[in-house]
Chains A and B, each alone.
Chain A
């Protein structure tokens, strides 16, 4: 093998008393896709930040092309050809694509040359197989396009080590496939790609080698051929999680909890039609743009439907506001924890009580913090939220634990019907299994659940029935027995019609 481009040698990083990384070593070779896996909080982000010059290691060295280099800051990292792209792309929403790509270019002289840059930007975008309009402002781009912009920016600077941190977590299957294609072709051009993902299947698809880290320490580095999924998971979590993708037995009862008839929101979705029973879990599958979230939001009253009926436990409800949905016993756990779900700077306690604040007032109308704390503590143990106490800000928790706080917030309402929108996006394997257990527990206790998920194995494992949507249309409602990944995909991509037609 050729000489490694970049080597970490015994790198450690501590913040005060906490050791984020301990004696970590890693070699990155040109032309390889090197997967990096580990639970949330294992130290992956710290490692990226050291490689990109944001943090300085407390011990150990970084070698580039065989020589020790100090990476003093992001600019220094870029000068060495090290760049990173993230799940949440780091673009400038107010600048256009061209400006985004060349924002840190140094060899461009004093004045901007918009026409020349736009031409170069178009070339770069084309090189990674995209067709984005380079004059468009970045705030209007999809996530996938924003990532493409970041990759183009890295390419414009002759990137040699490209770190991709959970790049596909928020992408549709189609977009994710294309992104992995880009990663592979960059590797083929001699770039060392560091690929971080919670989706094990994509690691097996593209990685040449896999490094597992846990609790800030290096556990193993192996060729992909020597790795099995179970072995990898075991190394990541340091325990046997069992197969979380095993199908749990259905707990559905006869009583109908929610009956949706011909629900339509003109121009968005139409004729959604299903019944949800007590104890049942219905999963909604579909590609990005299938309008599943819009259906959920209209059931929850955020964007009321224009026609159709919503019947809850046998009673018709006109739901035009979330308050009415909550009164009817419906709760919605949103996908975007940051935007819709949680107040990041506030403590866990306050986040859990916020939707049910009325229940925590004493008779003078004053908030009883002890009662709040007690409830929060209760959820902390029950949901296994990993935190020393419930007074710390939610923003400091890992993604999986934030998700659990979200769940606690809504479970505390004692809803009859709970809608989960992408409940396991971006959280690690261990936390995923726990969230699944919680949903099943909720159903077993007599609750009715709708789970929107783009993760097909999850849909199959969790759903008693699976509702597949495509572009605002209900394409089918499969039972667990009928459902396979292939069948769902056929429905979700609309190939069923054409196949039948031809």
Chain B
């Protein structure tokens, strides 16, 4: 067992620790909530996590570069509304054009953030706090107090998220969930396999060194924001498809949930490390706790937010503790190995010296 742990890299260890926490949460709630563990639970979580998975992925891209995007909730709201109004006015548009429109619009918002952060050198927390309000105001202005309503959306769009692609017992794998997971996997592959993606990690890991290593940090940070915007735009499209009715409050507060999901998922808030698979698991964990708490009679509505906060902290702490234990055990073994080597070396040089 320990041998296998040694082979895993820290990120894989973290994902393992997260999975253990997810299982622990499942076991706990199955003990206190009747009728809990069944295929329906999977369907609920998988459907509702589809959007958050995209947002957590977007947020992760930005956080890795030691930045943050607080405007993501407003971006999703605006994109959902604008995409909805486009299809309402042009009901014949196809899915490809609609998705491209949503992602393009999101990328444009990301570019605004990125330009201000990378080129105007304003800290991202300030920039995106500003654009959080700005994009939301733009939506209020643009919407003219109308709302997008399900009745005006084409059938294919509304039915897309819940289309069951395949079924295993009670568990349904629905289009929105499958699409979101595919996107996460795609981004994961890009982050681990593309050479350029290493630059994101490098910048978050040590910005000064990145500059010295000749990485174009501005361009890279800009690109990270644009990509995050595009993913948020895709999230906006999914939001539209899932909820149908879009008002100016759409996506309110999602920025903090996306940060929570990423951080719970092991993305270092100070940049440099983290995986989108972790962020996906983080989103699952937060959503799982949130959904399960509603069904736990013991916790009243007024305490639910607080309990959710405590449980998130606990799961992060457990995860960190597990990680530290695993890392410490590994380091201790490596240390012993190194000491043995030094002893050997010294013995040989001493022999040389004594001759």
Contacts and interface: CB of A to CB of B under 8 A. Distances in A.
Contacts of A52: 212
A228 interface: no
11 contacts: A73-B214, A92-B201, A92-B202, A92-B206, A94-B205, A95-B205, A99-B198, A99-B201, A103-B210, A112-B198, A495-B350
Interface string B206-244: 101111111110000000000000000000000000000
A95 B10 CA distance: 11
A494 B346 contact: yes
Among all A-B residue pairs, the 5 with the closest Cβ atoms: A75-B214, A90-B209, A94-B272, A92-B205, A94-B273
A92 B350 CA distance: 36
Given A103-B213, A110-B195, 19 more contacts: A73-B214, A78-B213, A84-B212, A90-B208, A92-B206, A92-B272, A93-B205, A94-B268, A94-B273, A95-B205, A104-B214, A104-B215, A105-B195, A108-B195, A111-B195, A112-B192, A112-B194, A499-B354, A502-B354
Contacts, number: 86
Given A94-B201, A499-B354, A74 B206 contact: no
Interface string B263-284: 0000010001100000000000
A64 interface: no
B209 A92 contact: yes
Given A495-B350, A495-B353, A498-B354, A74 B214 contact: yes
A405 B53 CA distance: 50
B216 A103 contact: no
B262 to A, nearest CB: 15
A54 interface: yes
B216 A75 contact: yes
B251 interface: no
A153 B272 contact: no
Contact of A78 (B195, B214, B268): B214
B193 interface: yes
A90 B193 contact: no
A90 B202 CA distance: 11
B272 A54 contact: no
B206 A90 contact: yes
B201 A111 contact: no
A75 B208 CA distance: 13
Contacts of B353: 495, 498-499
Interface in A63-97: 73-79, 84, 90-95
Contacts of A75: 214-216
A91 B206 contact: yes
A109 B198 CA distance: 13
B234 to A, nearest CB: 23
A354 interface: no
Contacts of A111: 193-195
Interface of B is mostly: helix
Contacts of B196: 110
Given A93-B272, A137-B10, A77 B204 contact: no
A92 B193 contact: no
B174 interface: no
A103 B212 contact: no
Contacts of A79: 214
Contacts of A84: 212
B14 interface: no
B136 interface: no
Contacts of A92: 201-202, 205-206, 209-210, 272
Contacts of A94: 201, 204-205, 268, 272-273
Interface in A100-142: 102-105, 108-112, 137, 140
Nearest to B216: A75
A498 B268 CA distance: 49
Contacts of A91: 206, 209
Interface in A256-288: none
A110 B206 CA distance: 23
Interface in B176-205: 192-196, 198-199, 201-202, 204-205
Contacts of A502: 354
B213 A153 contact: yes
Interface in A142-169: 153
A345 to B, nearest CB: 16
A95 B193 CA distance: 14
Contacts of A105: 195
Given A112-B194, A137-B10, A95 B212 contact: no
Nearest to A157: B214
B197 to A, nearest CB: 8
Interface in A445-502: 493-495, 498-499, 502
A7 B350 CA distance: 46
B4 to A, nearest CB: 16
A95 B201 contact: yes
Nearest to B213: A104
Contacts of A109: 195
B202 A103 contact: yes
Contact of B198 (A90, A93, A95, A494): A95
A499 B215 CA distance: 53
Given A90-B206, A91-B206, A94-B272, A77 B201 contact: no
A103 B194 CA distance: 12
A352 B196 CA distance: 46
Given A111-B194, A111-B195, A495-B353, A90 B213 contact: yes
Given A90-B206, A92-B272, A93-B272, A498 B350 contact: yes
Nearest to B272: A94
B323 to A, nearest CB: 13
Nearest to B346: A494
Contacts of B215: 75, 103-104
Interface in B13-64: none
Contacts of B208: 90
A54 B193 contact: no
Interface in B304-350: 331, 346, 350
Contacts of A112: 192-195, 198
Nearest to B203: A92
A112 B273 CA distance: 18
